[in-house]
Chain A
Amino acid sequence: MARALLLRSASSALTLLLVTLIVFLLLHLLPGDPFSEDELVGPRRLTRAQVAEIRALYHLDEPVHRQYLLWLQDLLRGDLGASFQDRRTVASKIAERLPVTVTLNALALALMVGLSVPLGTLAAWRPGSGLDRAAGAGTYALYALPVFWAALLLQIVFSARLGWLPLLGLASDRAAELGALERLADRAAHLVLPTVCLAYPGLAYLSRFVRSSLLEGTSGEFERAGRARGLTALGVLVRHGFRLASVPLLTLAGFLLRHLVAGSVLVEWTFAIPGLGLLFVEAVLARDVPVVMGLTLVSSVATLAGTFLADVLYAAADPRVRHA
């Protein structure tokens, strides 16, 4: 087990290095170099010396391989570089936006689990029944529902038409005047629609997972073993089914990490929520290379870590995997 873990870590580290190289190369094939002399000397009225100074600041005067090594060196010190837009460090920009995105994703995850476990259980209770088929078809359609369209429709219905929930942002304009409790309610109201939008695409995947693990746990040898010990059908479901279903649920820890940034991009953009996803789009629109690079890297690392974590948890929870 320890040996396998070590091997797995080493291979992840190698993949990580390759990811940094890909991300670096990707953004250094830059044609629209925002600090080229064409961009700055003419339109922005800077002198050549000033341009050279800026280029030196971002290591743009070095050959490409040196730039990569310098960037990697900084990376090891946790330094992701500075934004082209306001010279603030990328790390501080990410740190500032992280809590919003994490909160949103944690809420979405809670909603996802809260809905998919009962849904999957109901579907698995009588496989092939009308309820099972309806749940399957419904979550299947949700899976194909484009998140930005759903977000727009929800905005139209619940914000514009009914006026129940706020349209955009994280807080009302008058939030500063509110008391603590009211401010919390205001924040919660702002989070409802984004949370729903983040949660529903995973519903199909997750409830199907719950359903098939429950089915596996309540049929075949599990069922026979359970019944032999005098368990009722419900007992088998609880004792074997949920035990098996807990395995894919654990991998959700990985799922959350994998989708943290990428999953939030469209939702945060639509609802104007200042999280990592919005930061990414803003950086792309402004051609802010260090921020795009930093965020791509961070979310790739999160993906890698998420997969790694999921594998380890999976092995810990399922003896069949552990001893394989």
Chain B
Amino acid sequence: MRRFRGNLQAGAGLVGLLAIAAGAAPYLASDIAWVSRGPGGVRFPILGSADLRRVAGAEEQPVLRAPIPYGPDLTDLDAILTAPSGRHWLGTDGLGRDVASRVLHGGRVSLTVGLAATAVALLLGLPLGAVAGYAGGAVDAAVSRLVEAVLCIPVLLLALALLTASPPALRGLPDTLLLASVIGLASWAPVARYLRGEFLRLRQSEMALLARASGAGPLRVIVRHLLPSALPPVIVAAAFGVAAAILLEAALSFLGLGVRPPTPSWGGMLTEARHHVDRAWWLALFPGAALFLAVLGCNMLGEGLRDLLDPRQRRR
């Protein structure tokens, strides 16, 4: 399989780069100066606490600004819908906010939700699948039925229905956690189904037999002996899961049901872009490109990991 040999490197590089950019967004894209000079000498406002930074920023002369010297929510009514230029690399939106800054900060939401949602899906799917596969019998039948039923409900619709219902346990959570829970709750079923299959196979293995013979209880056999050998494909599935979760978060935000404005999110920015299709192409191009690269990166990482960890599934 030569075609995708570079997948692992390319995927890991892309995802790593995006993660670093998103992680460093508060420093890379901020209206607070990196270095400033004032009555008290040279200071580093960006490293201070939020209140201090603003007070200090007013009377001090900035010496070194952030590469993108605009915060994500900083509006500039003199620069509404300006095209990409030296001042605003990726242009500005309908409120004069810097698109580059918002794309960077939006990445934080996307990546956080993507990772947290996948964690939720694994947290639900792993134990259910493992127990069903290992126990067999009635437990397996019940779990398998449930998984089958949930798999029938399209993920997007399930997530939207969950958001409509917003069960009591989820209310009051911050947007990112709410979205992560909803997306996780909508996408645990494939994980459970996969793990059930693995455990069905593994429980017959000599590994399990030996562990049981040496007196290990079911929990110990599952967690200590069998889970490690089922893990590599789960890691692969998790990479694809993150891609799907990022895409779903963006879709929900695009429909106006995800992260609420003014918090920047890629999906939300694309919704704003809809209002300006006829005059501001940059509003649609850049957040979408970031989303595309993130999804592509995670998918490539998944493919690469699959080739690396799970040679059985290698495609022709």
User: Which A positions have Cβ atoms within 8 angstroms of B?
Assistant: 14-16, 18-19, 22-23, 26-32, 128, 133, 136-137, 141, 143-146, 148-149, 152-153, 155-156, 159-161, 167, 212, 215, 258-259, 261-262, 265-266, 269-270, 280-281, 284-285, 287, 289, 292-293, 295-296, 299-301, 303-304, 307
Contact = CB atoms under 8 A, between A and B. Distances in A.
A284 B274 contact: no
Contact of B164 (A16, A269, A284): A284
B261 to A, nearest CB: 15
13 contacts: A18-B146, A22-B150, A31-B171, A137-B3, A144-B299, A152-B273, A261-B154, A266-B254, A266-B255, A284-B255, A285-B256, A292-B161, A299-B154
Given A26-B161, A136-B3, A19 B251 contact: no
A141 B157 contact: no
Nearest to A266: B251
A318 to B, nearest CB: 19
Contacts of B251: 146, 148, 266
A152 B145 contact: no
Nearest to B155: A262
B154 A160 contact: no
Contacts of B291: 146, 149
A31 B166 CA distance: 7
A292 B166 contact: no
Contacts of B24: none
A281 B153 contact: no
Contact of B292 (A27, A149, A266): A149
Interface residues of B, number: 50
B280 to A, nearest CB: 9
B219 interface: no
B312 interface: no
Contacts of B281: 156, 160-161
A16 B148 CA distance: 10
B161 A296 contact: yes
A275 B180 CA distance: 28
Contacts of A23: 153, 161
B316 A18 contact: no
Chain A binding site: helix, strand, loop or mixed by DSSP? Answer: helix
Contacts, number: 141
B162 interface: yes
8 residue pairs, one from A and one from B, having the closest CB atoms: A149-B288, A262-B154, A18-B149, A144-B296, A160-B278, A152-B284, A300-B152, A29-B167
A270 B164 CA distance: 20
A146 B164 contact: no
B160 interface: yes
Residue of B164, B254, B270, B292 with highest tally of chain A CB at under 10 A: B164
B168 A270 contact: no
Contacts of B64: none
Contacts of A299: 153-154, 157
B163 A284 contact: yes
Contact of A19 (B3, B152, B167, B292): B152
Interface string B131-162: 00000000000000110111011111110111
B165 interface: yes
A56 to B, nearest CB: 22
B295 A144 contact: yes
B244 to A, nearest CB: 11
A152 B166 contact: no
B169 to A, nearest CB: 9
Given A144-B292, A281-B255, A15 B153 contact: no
B256 A146 contact: no
